[in-house]
């Protein structure tokens, strides 16, 4: 079930709010001693998170299906997609946790048509016996305005609102779940990269975009957020998917007599283009009036999203 992005908290309805995590959404499926961790696009990620597989194996049920998010936490206890990515790309040993927020099935009985509150009550009791790395993600209150202020103060990503009596609607974005963000952050598709300049090796910036009417629209150049370890690894991945032509429908283009982001026709010939297969997470200050990203920072690649599903959120 997906959450719909909204600008401000709803004025009516019976809502509960939970923390929005900055990790990878997974469905954990246990059948006897077999455990699968499935991402949104059905990738099996159990091999990436063996400690979570083991913990789910030990849960006191023969069979269960749990919806949650795998996160790595920083020193302040905040979830960080960047840390999760560094663990994968650079072999860092950040501990990971599985925050369970919904229970869809238990010992052969489907719970999806029960109200959210009832599902969460069963899940809370179920997780009480588990211990780390499985953690129950409970409601943090009902006053969205106050929660948003506190979440922003602590540098967290946002909150998720859920209607207390809502049923679980797999794959749908019905509006019974909503997300309110404090940080501008979303996924984009990588369409190319610029040559390296100065002391930097491998590449300068990546060119990212999103889909609109099945066409890849340019959103901006992202030149920060890379590390000395991630640059060569990303470069190798990109080179394996290199293509001759530009995948963006609107490059090069002019706005107010200026070439967009300084990408002139002659610069286009120096760019390296890649097939639209890589999805990355980008944090940024805001969307500019001409629809580009202001102060974007690369956080990591996402394997749990399909490129064709990436659209502009804000």
pTM of the model: 0.85
pLDDT tens, per residue, the chain with 314 residues:
999 999 999 999 999 999 999 999 999 999 998 999 999 989 999 999 999 999 999 999 999 999 999 999 988 888 999 899 888 777 777 889 999 999 999 999 999 999 999 999 999 999 998 889 999 999 999 999 999 999 988 888 899 999 999 999 998 999 999 999 988 999 999 999 999 988 889 999 999 999 999 999 999 999 999 999 999 999 999 999 999 999 999 999 988 888 999 899 999 999 999 999 999 999 998 998 889 999 999 999 998 999 999 999 97
- What are the φ and ψ backbone dihedral angles of 57, each rounded to 5 degrees? -55, -35
Of 192, 304, 297, 169, nearest in space to 242 by CA: 192
Give 257's contacts (C-beta < 8 A, 6+ positions apart): none
Of 280, 284, 279, nearest in space to 300 by CA: 280
Say what the pLDDT of residue 312 is: 95
Joined together, the tokens standing for residue 129 give 């016996």
- Interatomic CA distance for residues 113 and 97, integer angstroms: 27
Buried b (16+ CB within 10 A) or exposed e, 187-212: bbbbbbbbeeeeeeebbebbbbbbbe
Question: How much is the CA Rg of the chain, to the nearest whole Å?
Answer: 21
Of 121, 29, 115, nearest in space to 67 by CA: 29
Say what the pLDDT of residue 138 is: 95
- Interatomic CA distance for residues 181 and 152, integer angstroms: 9
Annotation marks residue 20 as catalytic: yes
| All structural domains of the chain | 4-182 (3.30.470.30), 185-309 (2.40.50.140)
CA 206, 212, 213, 218 dihedral sign is negative
Say what the pLDDT of residue 202 is: 96
CA 31, 174, 135, 97 dihedral sign is positive
End-to-end CA distance of the chain: 20
Question: Phi-psi bin for 77: left (phi > 0), alpha (psi -120 to 50), beta?
Answer: left
Say what the pLDDT of residue 211 is: 98
Do the Cβ atoms of 305 and 280 come closer than 8 Å? no
- Interatomic CA distance for residues 166 and 10, integer angstroms: 15
Out of 2, 4, 8, 20, pick the active-site residue: 20
Instruction: Say how far residue 193 (Cα) sits from the centre of its chain.
Output: 22
Determine what percent of the chain is predicted with pLDDT higher than 70. Answer: 100
């Amino acid at each position: 079930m997906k959450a719909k992005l909204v600008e401000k908290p709803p004025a009516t309805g019976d809502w509960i709010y939970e923390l929005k995590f900055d990790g990878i959404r997974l469905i954990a499926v246990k059948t006897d001693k077999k455990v699968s961790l499935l991402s949104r696009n059905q990738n099996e990620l159990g091999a990436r998170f063996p400690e979570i597989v083991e913990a789910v194996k030990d849960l006191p049920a023969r069979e269960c299906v749990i919806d949650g998010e795998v996160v790595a936490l920083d020193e302040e206890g905040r979830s960080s997609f960047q840390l999760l990515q560094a663990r994968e790309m650079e072999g860092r040993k950040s501990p990971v946790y599985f925050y369970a927020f919904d229970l869809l099935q238990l010992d052969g009985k489907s719970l999806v048509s029960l109200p959210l509150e009832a599902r969460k009550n069963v899940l809370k009791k179920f997780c009480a016996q588990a211990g780390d790395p499985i953690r129950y993600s409970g409601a943090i209150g009902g006053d969205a305005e106050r929660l948003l202020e506190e979440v922003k103060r602590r540098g967290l990503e946002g909150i998720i609102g859920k209607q207390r009596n809502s049923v679980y609607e797999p794959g749908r974005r019905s509006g019974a779940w909503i997300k309110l963000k404090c940080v501008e952050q979303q996924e984009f598709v990588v369409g190319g990269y610029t040559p390296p300049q100065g002391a930097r090796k491998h590449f300068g910036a990546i060119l990212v975009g999103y889909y609109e009417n099945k066409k890849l629209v340019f959103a901006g150049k992202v030149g920060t957020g890379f590390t000395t370890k991630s640059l060569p690894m990303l470069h190798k991945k990109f080179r394996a998917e290199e293509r001759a032509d530009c995948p963006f429908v609107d490059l090069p283009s002019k706005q107010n007599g200026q070439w967009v982001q300084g990408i002139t026709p002659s610069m286009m010939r120096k760019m390296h283009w890649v097939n639209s297969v890589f999805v990355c997470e980008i944090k940024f200050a805001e969307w500019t009036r001409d629809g580009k990203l202001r102060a974007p920072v690369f956080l990591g690649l996402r394997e749990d999203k399909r490129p064709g599903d990436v659209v502009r959120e804000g």
